[in-house]
């Protein structure tokens, strides 16, 4: 069984759920609170991989 980390209200997350259901892939849904998701995913063991994002020439987190 897969684990799908979801931000409630996200259209992209809903699309992922619909795709998994369409293919009958079993999954467990874990809701993540918006704005806290960068911290929560790191607490779950996900790593940013040392990569940063740039927006308008400024580093974002």
* pLDDT for position 59: 62
Question: Tens digit of pLDDT for each residue in 48-58?
Answer: 665 666 666 66
Tell me if residue 19 falls in helix, strand or coil. Answer: helix
Measure the CA–CA gap between 2 and 5, rounded to whole angstroms: 10
Cα dihedral across residues 24, 25, 28, 33: positive or negative: negative
Which residues, other chains included, contact 42 with Cβ-Cβ below 8 Å and sequence gap of 6+? 48
Question: Tens digit of pLDDT for each residue in 6-42?
Answer: 989 999 999 999 999 999 999 999 998 877 777 877 8
Instruction: Residue 5: count other Cβ atoms within 10 Å of its Cβ.
Output: 16
Whether the pTM exceeds 0.85: the reply is no
43 pLDDT higher than 60: yes
Q: CA–CA distance from 60 to each of 36, 38, 51 (Å)? A: 15, 12, 10
């Amino acid at each position: 069984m897969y684990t799908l980390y979801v931000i409630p209200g996200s259209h992209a997350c809903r699309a992922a759920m619909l795709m998994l259901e369409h293919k009958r892939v079993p999954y467990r849904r874990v809701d993540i609170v918006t704005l806290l998701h960068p911290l929560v995913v790191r607490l779950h063991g996900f790593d940013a991989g040392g990569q940063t994002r740039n927006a308008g020439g400024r580093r974002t987190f």
